[in-house]
Amino acid sequence: MLSHVEGFRAPLSVRQFKGGQSNPTYLLESPSGKYVLRRKPPGQLLRSAHAVDREFRVISSLYAAGFPVPRPLALCGDDEVVGTMFFIMEFVEGRIFWDLDLPECDPDERSALYDSMNWTIASLHAFDFAKLGLGEFGRPGNYFERQISRWSRQYVASETSKIDAMDRLMAWLPAHIPTDDASTVVHGDFRLDNLIFHPTEARVIAVLDWELSTIGHPLGDFTYHLMSWQMPKIGIGSTGLVGKDLAALGIPSEDEYVSRYCERTGRVDGIPDRNFYAAYNFFRLAAILQGIAGRVRDGTASSAHAERAIQAVEPLATIGWEFAQRLN
């Protein structure tokens, strides 16, 4: 940091953040301020997973374009420094909300926070990735075909038991991909607790955790975000919105939230085939969590909460298959 982070002054203290089932993340504190270090986990890893260098690249491009991400500071590819590749970014002071119903807020603030979240993902999908310098960041086109193939492979590589609904989804999804083939920068895990809001204003000031970012389909990204409205309580993540009185809370319904996104992104026909996207996203999340199960099996999981994630794989796959059946 003395060599590569401008203005840094020692000494340095290091503390790991809670969570972080994928890339371990640490708070660095020093006389010159606070920083965040994000690194690959140790051990044998699936090919293409945990690419912190890709995270650093995308936040560097988006920061330069004025999108709300932490300021990137340094990337280190030398495994000898902390044991694995890592990058350092600024620490952003603000609020992170863990519960989707925002119990600490009043209805007006909830409405404004959700609108800022909607604006943020819509503005991400408005960027021309080539103009951002991300023309080689991913392959445009055939996004769902490639993603279904990728997550199927990674699921099978991490498989610890047979789950019928996952096998059905892996066979069903490739045959039902919509014809819309748009390409944008996608975050890959856009959700409330990956956002930092201004300390006092209802405004997103930083989007975190870009590990799954690529050039992909904006509707894949947005409909993953819609899982907040679709996810029953199955033991993972934050308190969801299923069964909540959203009007009383000041939180938009799923349809209202979709309409606002479509207005902002010029999708005059809305989002057809929403059941396909829901089936795909529940499948994808199940495959991601199965990857954690594989790392538990191999002794490389980086979270004490990994066992809860493993138990959610089959319920997620079952919900995904239920959405798939609605489309038939």
pLDDT digits (tens, 9 = 90+) for 187-209: 999 999 999 999 999 999 999 99
Do the Cβ atoms of 283 and 322 come closer than 8 Å? no
What is the torsion angle, in degrees rounded to the nearest 10, for the CA atoms of residue 280, residue 283, residue 287 and residue 288? Answer: 60
Banded pLDDT at 23 (limits 50, 70, 90)? confident
What is the torsion angle, in degrees rounded to the nearest 10, for the CA atoms of residue 283, residue 286, residue 288 and residue 289? Answer: 180
How far apart (Å, rounded) are the C-alpha atoms in residues 286 and 284?
5
The 8-class DSSP code of residue 91 comes to P
Least confident of 85-89, 114-118, 149-153, 288-292: 288-292
Pick the CATH number of 13-90 from 3.30.200.20, 3.30.390.50, 3.40.190.10, 3.50.50.60: 3.30.200.20
Q: What average pLDDT does range 285-303 have in this prediction?
A: 76
The architecture of the domain spanning 107-327 is Alpha-Beta Complex (3.90)
Pairing of strands 72-76, 214-216: unpaired
Taking 60 as the threshold, does the pLDDT of residue 20 lie above it?
Answer: no
Could you tell me the pTM of the whole model? Answer: 0.89
Mean model confidence pLDDT for the chain: 91
Taking 80 as the threshold, does the pLDDT of residue 307 lie above it?
Answer: no
* Domain limits, CATH 3.90.1200.10, in the chain: 107-327
pLDDT at 235: 56
Banded pLDDT at 19 (limits 50, 70, 90)? low
Residues recorded for the chain: 328
* Domain limits, CATH 3.30.200.20, in the chain: 13-90
Ramachandran region of residue 50, left (φ > 0), alpha (ψ -120 to 50) or beta?
A: left
Q: What average pLDDT does range 97-119 have in this prediction?
A: 96
How far apart (Å, rounded) are the C-alpha atoms in residues 283 and 151?
8
How far apart (Å, rounded) are the C-alpha atoms in residues 179 and 304?
41
Do the Cβ atoms of 183 and 140 come closer than 8 Å? yes
**257 vs 23: which has the higher pLDDT:** 257
